[in-house]
Amino acid sequence: MPYLTEPEFRHDRPARTGVLLVNLGTPEAPTAKALRPYLKEFLSDRRVIEIPRAVWWFVLNGVILNVRPKKSAEKYATIWQTEGSPLLVHTREQTRLLAEQLGQRGHGDLVVDFAMRYGAPSVESVIQTMRARGVDRLVVLPLYPQYAASSSGTALDAVFRTLMKLRNMPEVRTVRHFHDHPGYIAALAGKIRAHWQAHGRPDKLVMSFHGVPRFTLDKGDPYHCECHVTGRLLAEALGLSRDDYAVCFQSRFGRAEWLKPYAFDVLRELGRARTRRVDVVCPGFVSDCLETLEEIAVEGKEVFLTAGGGDYRYIDCLNEAPDAIAILADIVEAQLAGWTRAQPDTAARLARARALGAAG
């Protein structure tokens, strides 16, 4: 395997530490033409589709890639922003704010960047850029609170595959999950409380997580359990009884059984029960994307209302909320132990000096 081109080695070059956020990915445009290569890369991942390659190759290339790109493009078009897809917009801004927050905490020399597991910017291209900037130590943070082989696992795969192509490999630390991080639970609870203060409390809070095939649980994937841990901790933080909330799973694909209960089944049942008000939150997503803004906020609402339900409200993901950025910074700082030493923020030092001068 040929090595990737790396910057010229210098003995006097100071080591720098990098922080790499990795998210799922997005097509470059809400068009069938752009969706086809994106879906092909995504659905060709052996972590995502775990069925025999020969069978899947014919299904993917003979059926799915001839039908799904157009349908997916139509859905993306309904949520697309001027700057691009919401997932890209939020991830880019989260990265900028994280770098700013870490700088305020005294880690101003960090190289903070983001990559997408599928699409652009690719993991390989971003790591090469970071290496060119002198990064010899790397913290990798997949932006998935709950670990799944098909999300965090494949994101780390992409990182390790890139590192295999480097002659001079950096030190690496990875974040597995943060589903039960106290700060993450507190931020989710704060977001929901703020929504309730503005709009009142619902009869039922529905927590919808992205689904995965049922057999992944049998094979040892911890995702199902970690979703329920997040749900339980969030309910406790909000003071909810077991009847006040429901945990379910969305985005089912294909005919195989996936984790249950399915989100649309839960919403349909609540609608048939003439539930007056339902709020839906997606604690498995750090950023709003197609699966939250279109599938849950739009399709989920239609399912609930059509079945006879009353008021339906979707609560946004954390996105760029200050609490969300603070959590990411806390997680990164914990990984930096022994690598970097926080330096006092320059602005804070000047402010203290001026205060002392005024007091004197």
The pLDDT of residue 360? 46
Q: How far apart are the first and last CA of the chain?
A: 66
Region at 282 (left for phi over 0; alpha for psi -120 to 50; beta for the rest): beta
pLDDT digits (tens, 9 = 90+) for 278-337: 999 999 999 999 999 999 999 999 999 999 999 999 999 999 999 999 999 999 999 999
Closest CA to 8 of 168, 170, 126: 168
The pLDDT of residue 353? 47
Q: Would the CA dihedral through 295, 189, 182, 242 be positive or negative? A: negative
Q: Is the confidence at residue 156, as pLDDT, over 70? A: yes
Instruction: Give me the residue label for tokens 């006092």.
Output: 344
Ligand-binding annotation for 333, yes or no, is no
Lowest-confidence region among 50-59, 104-113, 232-241, 260-269: 50-59
Separation of alpha carbons 159 and 131, rounded Å: 13
Which CATH topology does 16-178+321-335 take? Answer: Rossmann fold (3.40.50)
Ligand-binding annotation for 299, yes or no, is no
Per-residue b/e over 135-167, b at no fewer than 16 CB within 10 Å?
bbbbbbbbbbbbbbbbbbbbbbbbbeebbebee
Phi, psi of 11 (to 5 degrees): -70, -25
| Residues 196 and 262: beta-carbon distance below 8 Å | no
pTM of the model: 0.91
pLDDT digits (tens, 9 = 90+) for 159-168: 999 999 999 9
Enumerate the domain spans of the chain.
16-178+321-335, 182-314
User: What architecture is the 182-314 domain classified under in CATH?
Assistant: 3-Layer(aba) Sandwich (3.40)
